[in-house]
């Protein structure tokens, strides 16, 4: 049993981390008041930009190329998210539709460009990050074996971002103001806060984080851009609701998904799990999400003003 768990864990974490950072992006956006359905598309943008950058540089500077690729992904994500920000904030467009447009555009443009470059619509990088032992931490009993023996450096980066996010959100003036914009933008405006600017920042962060999530997938377990994020962007949205818009809640939710999906993937290879019909394990995360949504429906902590266009000066 222990073998099973410790064997699965690294993969579960691998799957969790991109989901986590994407969901955190969604958190910042929604906390500022803008619903961002386009996380899926932003992940794809990140995947494409990262893969594209890496193949340009990988022969010249193999290690640095990966980091530059990640940064390229982040930059592209932020740029692309401006489309959603502009539509939702300046034009008061319907945020769900705008987000859907982002998804469609991202999927289409990236494959179009990829085809122009490689002819096939897929971009494969030579090598990504390799998992390593983290010094000192891997000697911790139990936890060390589970979390720090087969760890990717990107995992640590993302976890650091998580801690930073929680700190910024709850302890800094910026976080206080951001949350105010998502709960009662009229109150924030009366307090002298520039609600539009805050919301732009929220959406830009979501663009950066979601793209980073996609990029991390490329440099850790996938290695190939193929035009799709397999629904992870939407799963991140579900995780956001599941985690009740709190950073550590989102951590728990995404880890749950990561673990469940990994179990589903490896179930055929593991004798104890082979008896369960694969369809149950494959649909398990989705079904459980539905149940969680029902349970949380009554006490939802969703930011009150999320999804409503901000009408400056409205009383």
Partner 1 sequence: MKNAIVSLLAVLFGLIAGALLMAVTGSNPVAGYTYLFEGGLKSIERIGNTLATATPLIFTGLSVAFAFRTGLFNIGASGQMLFGGFCATFVGLTLDLPKAILVPVVIVVGFVAGALWAFLPGLLKAKFNVHEVVSTIMLNWTAYWVVYNVVPAYLKGSYETESRPLPPNAQLRMGWLSDLFGGSYINLGIFLGVLAVIAIAFIIDRTTLGYEMKAVGFNRHAAEFAGMAVDRNIVLAMVISGGLAGLGGVAQYMGNAINIQIGHLPTQGFDGIAVALLGANNPYGVLLAAIFFGLLYSGRGYMNAMVGIPPEISDTIIAIIIYFAATSILIERLISRLLRKRREKRDANAESGRA
Partner 2 sequence: MEHIVEMLGIRKEFPGIVANDNVTLQLRRGEIHALLGENGAGKSTLMGILFGMYQPDAGVIKIRGKETKIANPNVANDLGIGMVHQHFKLVHNFTVTENIILGNEPRKGLLYDTKSAGKRIAELSKQYGLNVDPDAKIEDISVGMQQRVEILKMLYREAEVLIFDEPTAVLTPQEIRDLMDIMKSLKAEGKSIILITHKLKEIKAVADRCTVIRRGKLIGTVDVATTSEAEMAKMMVGRDVSFTVDKAKIETGDTVLRIDSLTVLNNKKVPGLKSFSLDVRRGEIVGIAGVEGNGQTELVEALTGLRKPESGTIWFNGQDITRYPVRRRIESGIAHIPEDRQKRGLVLDYTVEENMILEVYYRAPYAKRGLLQRNEIRGHAERIIRDFDVRAGEGAASKARSLSGGNQQKAIIGREVELDPLLLIAVQPTRGLDVGSIEYIHKRLVEQRNKGKAVLLVSLELDEVLGLSDRIAVLNNGELIGIVNAAETNENEIGLMMAGIGKEAESR
Residues that bind partner 2 (CB under 8 A): 171-173, 176-177, 179-180, 183-184, 186-193, 304, 313, 315
Smallest distance from partner 1 to CB 121, Å: 7
Binding partner of 94, given partner 1, partner 2, none, CB within 5-8 angstroms per partner class? partner 1
93 binds partner 1 (CB under 8 A): yes
Which residues 179-198 are close enough to bind partner 1 by CB under 8 A? none
Binding partner of 91, given partner 2, partner 1, none, CB within 5-8 angstroms per partner class? partner 1
Smallest distance from partner 2 to CB 207, Å: 24
Give the integer Cα–Cα distance in Å for 41 and 144: 35
Smallest distance from partner 2 to CB 31, Å: 12
Smallest distance from partner 1 to CB 35, Å: 9
Binding partner of 304, given partner 2, partner 1, none, CB within 5-8 angstroms per partner class? partner 2
89 neighbors 35 (Cβ within 8 angstroms): no
Smallest distance from partner 1 to CB 107, Å: 7
Secondary structure letter of residue 133 according to DSSP: P
Q: What Cα–Cα distance (Å) separates residue 151 from each residue in 13, 73, 295?
A: 9, 22, 34
83 neighbors 20 (Cβ within 8 angstroms): no
Q: Which range binds partner 1 by CB under 8 A, 52-60, 67-75, 143-151, 292-300?
A: 292-300
304 binds partner 1 (CB under 8 A): no
Smallest distance from partner 1 to CB 138, Å: 35
Sign of CA dihedral 51, 223, 283, 111: positive
301 binds partner 1 (CB under 8 A): no
Q: Which range binds partner 1 by CB under 8 A, 9-17, 55-63, 79-87, 179-187?
A: 79-87
Smallest distance from partner 1 to CB 80, Å: 11
35 Rama class: left (phi>0) / alpha (psi -120 to 50) / beta: beta
Give the integer Cα–Cα distance in Å for 40 and 210: 8
178 neighbors 198 (Cβ within 8 angstroms): yes
22 neighbors 84 (Cβ within 8 angstroms): no
Q: What Cα–Cα distance (Å) separates residue 163 from each residue in 9, 16, 196?
A: 21, 16, 26
Half-sphere exposure of 87 (CA within 13 A, CB side): 19
Number of Cβ within a 10 Å radius of residue 255: 19
Closer by beta carbon to partner 1, 65 or else 102: 102
DSSP H helical ranges for the chain? 2-32, 39-57, 62-85, 95-118, 143-147, 153-171, 173-183, 185-190, 195-217, 232-242, 247-266, 271-274, 278-297
Secondary structure letter of residue 137 according to DSSP: G
Smallest distance from partner 2 to CB 312, Å: 8
Binding partner of 164, given partner 1, partner 2, none, CB within 5-8 angstroms per partner class? none
Binding partner of 5, given partner 1, partner 2, none, CB within 5-8 angstroms per partner class? none
Binding partner of 187, given partner 1, partner 2, none, CB within 5-8 angstroms per partner class? partner 2
Which parts of this chain interact with partner 1 (CB under 8 A)?
Answer: 37, 83, 86-87, 91-94, 96-98, 100-105, 107-109, 111-113, 115-116, 121, 231, 234, 237-238, 241, 277-279, 282-283, 286-287, 289-290, 293-294, 297-298
């Amino acid at each position: 049993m222990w073998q099973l768990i410790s064997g699965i864990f690294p993969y579960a974490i691998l799957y969790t981390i991109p989901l986590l950072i994407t969901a955190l992006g969604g958190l910042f956006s929604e906390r500022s008041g803008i619903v961002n359905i386009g996380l899926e598309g932003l992940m794809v943008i990140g995947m494409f930009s990262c893969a594209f950058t890496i193949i340009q540089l990988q022969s010249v500077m193999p290690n640095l190329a990966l980091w530059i690729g990640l940064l390229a992904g982040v930059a592209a994500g932020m740029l692309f998210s401006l489309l959603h920000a502009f539509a939702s904030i300046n034009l008061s467009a319907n945020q769900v539709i705008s987000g859907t447009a982002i998804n469609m555009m991202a999927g289409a443009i990236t494959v179009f460009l990829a085809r122009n470059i490689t002819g096939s619509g897929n971009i494969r990088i030579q090598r990504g990050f390799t998992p390593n032992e983290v010094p000192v931490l891997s000697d911790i009993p139990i936890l060390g074996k589970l979390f720090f023996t087969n760890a990717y450096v990107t995992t640590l980066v993302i976890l650091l971002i998580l801690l930073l996010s929680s700190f910024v959100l709850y302890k800094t003036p910026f976080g206080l103001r951001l949350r105010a914009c998502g709960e009662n933008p009229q109150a924030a405006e009366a307090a002298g806060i520039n609600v539009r600017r805050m919301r732009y920042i929220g959406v830009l962060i979501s663009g950066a984080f979601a793209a980073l999530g996609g990029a991390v997938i490329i440099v850790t377990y996938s290695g190939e851009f193929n035009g799709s994020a397999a629904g992870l962007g939407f799963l991140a949205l579900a995780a956001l609701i599941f985690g009740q818009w709190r950073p550590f809640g989102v951590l728990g939710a995404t880890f749950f998904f990561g673990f469940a999906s990994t179990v589903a993937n490896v179930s055929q290879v593991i004798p104890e799990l082979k008896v369960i019909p694969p369809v149950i394990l494959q649909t398990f995360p989705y079904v459980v999400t539905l149940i969680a949504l029902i349970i949380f429906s009554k006490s939802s902590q969703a930011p009150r003003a999320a999804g409503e266009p901000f009408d400056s000066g409205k009383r």
